[in-house]
Amino acid sequence: MALSQAHVKAAAQALLDARARRVRLPNLPEGLRPQTTADAEAICEAMGVGFDLPVGGWKVGCTDPAVAIKVGLERPFLGRIPALYVYQSGASVPWSDLLRPVVEAEIGFRFGRDLPPRATPYSAEEVAEAIDALVPGIEIPESRLTDDHPLGALGMVADQGYAGRFVCGTPHRRWRELDVSGQLVVLSLSGREVARGTGARAMGNPFEAVVWLANERSRIGDGVQAGQVVSTGSLTGIQWTEAGDLAVADYGALGRVEVRLAP
């Protein structure tokens, strides 16, 4: 049975409280646990209503079909990234403040104009025209649930898709001229390569994730706004960090993205 609206709001509030207190929950209270993808998405959206910070970006997750199958989800998911937690390359983030000290290399896209809600879906061309730049980046996911929580992928979807922070590299305005699918990135921690991947890992082309996000926000929310960045899915998988690590995502000709995880 689907969660009632009251239970959805209560579950969202529990996660919002954990976010505000910077703690992680071992589970949601009994009766508030999502049973279906629709339950989890409803909790995620209810959390968004209760956000007390402006949204600076969006995360799209499960854009790798193999990952979606593995975790048992039938579609991608999204999450909000507060503007406070959208950084520029070279930033320093306190490792001890992170609610899950992991990093991933992800390609972002920044909107140059709003795409408000409307009855008909946006075409790929309309979304492309609204994009200001491609932004190579590093995502720092965070989780208001402990790593051993029993909710599985539904807990991740409910908890804003584990959206946390995003580090932006140099924006590239002529992104349509790039081979985004073939773009290679090498992720290193303190000089040690830990993973590499290409843009094809995100829906075959990371731009497809932006089209999905724009239409999903048009369908269920308030659309997307100019200046917001969309992180389009992991190209390297999550990589665990240690206090003091320097995370570097090397995108070759697109430049390097760095963030220091300060001890």
Domain ranges (residues) in the chain = 53-262
pLDDT in tens, 141-157: 999 999 999 999 999 99
Query: Can you read off the two tokens belonging to residue 98?
Result: 């992170």
In contact, 196 and 186? CB cutoff 8 Å? yes
pLDDT in tens, 83-109: 999 999 999 999 999 999 999 999 999
Does the pLDDT value for residue 70 go beyond 80?
no
Instruction: Kindly list the distances between the CA atom of residue 229 and the CA atoms of 60, 70, 85, 183, in Å, as whole numbers in the listed order.
Output: 11, 27, 11, 19
Alpha helices of the chain — where are they, by DSSP H? 5-21, 37-49, 65-71, 124-130, 152-158, 206-220
pLDDT at 63: 86
Task: Using alpha carbons, select from 143, 201, 176 the residue that is nearest to residue 26.
Answer: 143
Residues 6 or more apart whose Cβ sits within 8 Å of residue 157: 34, 37, 40, 41, 43, 44, 73, 77
Q: Which CATH architecture has domain 53-262?
A: Alpha-Beta Complex (3.90)
pLDDT in tens, 235-246: 999 999 999 999
In contact, 2 and 34? CB cutoff 8 Å? no
Task: Using alpha carbons, select from 154, 160, 163 the residue that is nearest to residue 38.
Answer: 154
Average pLDDT, the chain: 96
Task: Using alpha carbons, select from 183, 172, 191 the residue that is nearest to residue 248.
Answer: 191
Predicted TM-score of the model (pTM): 0.95
Does the pLDDT value for residue 73 go beyond 90?
no
pLDDT at 69: 67
Does the pLDDT value for residue 64 go beyond 90?
no
Tell me the residue type at 210. V
Taking the CA atoms of 24, 28, 33 and 38 in sequence, report the sign of the dihedral they define: negative
| pLDDT band (50, 70, 90) for residue 221 | confident
Find the mean pLDDT for residues 60-73.
79
Query: Can you read off the two tokens belonging to residue 166?
Result: 């995003």
